[in-house]
Structure 1
């Protein structure tokens, strides 16, 4: 009878170890996913900031061109 009890304990222990390992893998995968989503949000923010900066630069260049055109019209005309 003792032999059967030891085998049951070993099986239960092995199953518990496997369960902990599986839960650890799931936790790691969820953590990695959350980290990747956070990085993606950060990249989206940086992309939007770059788009805004590019738009502001383009608008400033356009205003500068319009100002130069007005100066040339005034001087030339």
Structure 2
């Protein structure tokens, strides 16, 4: 994943490795946060989180530079997040 932030004062590019985002540890953390913050009427089982992470990995392989967020302000500031 690549995060680009460009303003008049700074240009910042962050590259996050895929294993940090799509790995087993991340899926366990995401599942724990989902159980903590989702209402009880909307449960999210651990296998659903694992399937979601697997689909994200597969999507990233099929579409390597897919843009998740692309925002540009009128003053020229840019925020772009790509897979």
TM-score, normalising length: structure 1: 0.26
Which has a greater percent of strand? Answer: 2
Taking structure 2 as the reference length, what is the TM-score of the superposition? Answer: 0.24
Q: Which has the higher contact order (CA 8 A, sep 6+)?
A: 2
